[in-house]
Chains A and B, each alone.
Chain A
Amino acid sequence: MIAPLLAVVRRDLLLALRQRGDVLNVLLFFVVVVTMVPLGVGPELPILRMIGAGSVWVAALLASIVSLQRVFAQDHLDGSLEQLLLSGQPASVVVIGKVLAHWLVTGAPIALAAIPIAVLFDLDTDAAATLVAALVLGTPALSLIGAVGAALTLGLRGGGVLVTLLVLPLTVPVLIFGSAAVQASAAAMSAGADLLLLGGLSLAAAALAPWAIAAALRISLE
């Protein structure tokens, strides 16, 4: 079971490498959206420090969800998705492979990009470090929950907006705990509880979402 999973991850990473533009665009999207916030709110640093965590998280949410279309849509269009589901491997294994690859090219880079972004919002070192940790712990949940939405809306017109509408309410817990962790850090308090909860959410999502994603894919392929 590990070998096919790795094969799927390797294939998707190879494809992402050959379509570098798509991957970089997502990162750029994240940066641009986050930059809009100070432009909209004003450059007073105390205010930015307060809203920094939340702004970064909202931008991370949007960037993750927007990029999820490509997780399944391309495979759906050329018939590869059918082959993945007919391969004799458990569908959840295939799904985990795809979502893992997606996270490696979306969630992980976003977590790293948060370091310079933290500077934009004048977050201190502790808060910035917590932000990166929170993103690393929370973006897997975003990828997993978002993948459910992507699987349900496969091939539908208006897909991007629809997926966002469906997925955003479900990601509220991740947003709340992710922000709370950073704000705790900024207030020189322990972010441990929030980070633990975030990790717990990602683990729970990893346990439950693959089943839902596989079921949604079958529904959408009919």
Chain B
Amino acid sequence: MLEATELECTRGERRLFRDLSLRVDAGQCLYVAGANGAGKTSLLRILAGLLLPQSGAVRWRGRDIARAREEFGSDLAFVGHLNGIKDELTALENVRFAAALRGADASEAAAMGALARMHLADYCDVFARHLSQGQKRRLALTRVCVADPPVLWILDEPYNALDAAAVESLQALLDAHLAAGGMVVLTAHQQVAMPSGAHRLELNPGHGQAAGRGES
């Protein structure tokens, strides 16, 4: 349902990849691997619609995402390098705002539920600026912990700064989401076990080509 055809990406003067095609269907996980600077973040940002590729297109449910931004946005949960949380709001306020923005259930109960899934319930009234790096990362990830999460998750190094318990929680969340028919595209630096059956896409810097199976 998420389809990319012949993507080409040039950042600054470097061409990161070209003729890159991939496809992710329901229940599938795509793990994008590669060394630093290979273009993993750029690829994920292209898939999320934040970056325009030099050429090629990304399609969601058959429609070009540049033309169907709102439908795509409502089906997408994106967690990038930056956490996307406001330091001057409490954890609870951050979660409730994210829900209200999407037009989802923004009640305190729903927000507390999401926080609990990331083991942040005790910090609900703490200003985000006082949270540790790992806690901030978990707060960013509550985006995918809501009661009715979007179908497609694009996660850029979600395991960064997470402790062992949080890593396990996230892995469990991913497995549950995939089992329920969701889709995940993610990158990770650490040696973390990917969900079973995850397809691997290897980006090789310098060659400007992608190797490995990007197709289902």
A and B, direct touch (CB closer than 8 Å)? yes
Residues of A that sit less than 8 Å from B by CB = 3-4, 7-8, 11, 14-15, 18-19, 77-80, 82-91, 94, 221-222
Chain B residues, CB < 8 A from A91:
69
CB within 8 Å: A-B pair count: 82
A7 touching B82, Cβ below 8 Å:
no
Q: How far is the CB of B174 from chain A (nearest CB, A)?
A: 20
Chain B residues contacting A18 (CB-CB under 8 Å) are 88
CA distance A77 to B82 in the complex (A): 8
CB nearest neighbor in B for A16? B88
Residue among A8, A82, A89 making CB contact with B82, cutoff 8 Å: A82
B89 touches A222 (CB 8 A): no
What are 5 residue pairs bridging A and B, where the CB atoms are less than 8 Å apart in the complex? A4-B101, A4-B103, A18-B88, A83-B78, A222-B50
Complex: chain A residue closest to B75, CB-CB:
A88
Q: Are A221 and B103 in contact (CB under 8 A)?
A: no
Is A15 in contact with B89, judged by CB distance below 8 angstroms?
yes
Docked pose: A132 CA to B58 CA in angstroms: 50
What CA separation (Å) do A134 and B157 show in the bound complex? 51
Check: B93 CB closer than 8 A to any chain A CB. Answer: yes
In the complex, how many angstroms separate the beta carbon of B130 from the nearest chain A beta carbon?
A: 13
Q: Is the CB of A86 within 8 A of B100?
A: no
- Leading 10 A-B pairs by shortest Cβ distance: A79-B82, A88-B74, A88-B73, A7-B100, A79-B84, A83-B84, A18-B88, A87-B101, A11-B97, A86-B73
B14 interface residue, CB < 8 Å from A? no
Kindly identify which residue among A7, A80, A84, A88 contacts B70, using a CB–CB cutoff of 8 Å: A88
A155, chain B: closest CB distance, angstroms: 12
- Nearest opposing residue in chain A for B140, CB measure: A79
Report if B125 contacts A (CB, 8 A): no
Q: Which of B49, B70, B75, B89 contacts A90 (CB 8 A)?
A: B70
B102 to chain A minimum Cβ distance, whole angstroms, is 6
CB pair A82–B89 under 8 Å, yes or no, is no
Q: In the complex the two chains form, what is the Cα distance from A165 to B157 in whole Å?
A: 39
Complex Cα distance A221/B87, Å?
21
The answer to whether the Cβ of B81 comes within 8 Å of any Cβ in the partner chain is yes
**Pick from B48, B86, B93, B97: contact of A86, CB under 8 Å:** B48
Chain A residues whose C-beta falls within 8 Å of the C-beta of B143 in the assembled complex:
83
- A8's partner among B72, B76, B101 (CB-CB below 8 A) is B101
B103 touches A15 (CB 8 A): no
B 44-67 contacts with A by CB, 8 A: 48-52
B201 within 8 A of A: no
